[in-house]
Amino acid sequence: MQIFNKYKEKYGYAIIPLLSTFLLNDLVYWGGMAIAGNRYHFDLTTNLDRRIPFVPGFVYIYLICYLFWIVNYVLAAGNGKDYFYRYLSADLTARLICFLFFVFFPTTNTRPELVGNSLSVHLLGWLYSIDKPANLLPSIHCMNSWFCYIAVRGRKDIPRWYRIFSFVFAWLIGLSTVFIRQHVVLDIAAGFLLAELMWQFFGKTKYYKNVRQFYEKINGKIREKLLK
């Protein structure tokens, strides 16, 4: 029971905020696609993108990243409320900026014909079938992954090997998006840069304190209802 209370105290406050960022992610992605679905989409593919080899095997990294996101976002919550609400504010704002890009500057790319009968090709075919070539700039996959690195960067309470892993894996996820033709190079740069800029912005402005007050009021009301 003491262990449960310890983790409840450390992470419990972050349940609603974390759920809200995943909810906003869906609203941004599907909302942007619904609004801009019939508009002209710009193709930002460059000669560099055309020279990058198509490697279906990278679909495994592309898909396993969802577990990486969950783990590192929870780790961000374990670094204290002030840190976490700065992190959350940067994340939510970055997603809203993505929405503006998806609506007012929709992008697309050309996917290759899938040849072969390997598991990776089948997985990639399934991915293509559920994920249209839209909402590409900035890459949410890359943005989320850089936020995952930010969540552990410079933290002495996180093992050094995992901090290094998070940095390397964030880059591998970025590379996977172009190796399987889900994104182009510019999408990767925009996703990484957006996450870093928002993190730095909220560190300097302290606007995240307003976000903290908002969620603490929500958590307080939930606690009141549960105690009745």
List, for residues 83-109, the tens digit of each pLDDT value.
999 999 999 999 999 999 999 999 999
Q: Which residues contact 88 (CB under 8 A, 6 or more apart)?
A: 17, 18, 21, 76, 208, 211, 215
pLDDT tens-digit series, residues 160-203: 999 999 999 999 999 999 999 999 999 999 999 999 999 999 99
What is the reported pLDDT for 195?
A: 98
What band does 5 get if pLDDT is binned at 50, 70 and 90? low
Mean pLDDT of 199-209: 94
Token code pair at residue 141: 């996959």
What band does 10 get if pLDDT is binned at 50, 70 and 90? confident
What is the reported pLDDT for 219?
A: 86
What is the reported pLDDT for 2?
A: 47
What band does 145 get if pLDDT is binned at 50, 70 and 90? very high
What is the reported pLDDT for 42?
A: 97
Mean pLDDT of 4-25: 81
Question: Does the pTM of the predicted model rise above 0.95?
Answer: no
What band does 4 get if pLDDT is binned at 50, 70 and 90? very low
What band does 11 get if pLDDT is binned at 50, 70 and 90? confident
- Computed over every residue of the chain, the mean pLDDT equals 93
What is the reported pLDDT for 222?
A: 83
Q: Which residues contact 151 (CB under 8 A, 6 or more apart)?
A: 72, 73, 75, 76, 79, 87, 166
Percent of the chain topping pLDDT 70: 95
What is the reported pLDDT for 89?
A: 97
Alpha-carbon Rg for the chain, nearest whole angstrom, is 19
- Checking if the pLDDT of 1 tops 70, the result is no
Contact predicate 90/19, CB 8 Å: no
- Checking if the pLDDT of 3 tops 60, the result is no
C-alpha distances (whole Å) from 175 to each of 52, 141, 167, 202 are: 10, 11, 13, 28
Task: Centre a 10 Å sphere on the Cβ of residue 166 and count the other Cβ atoms it contains.
Answer: 23
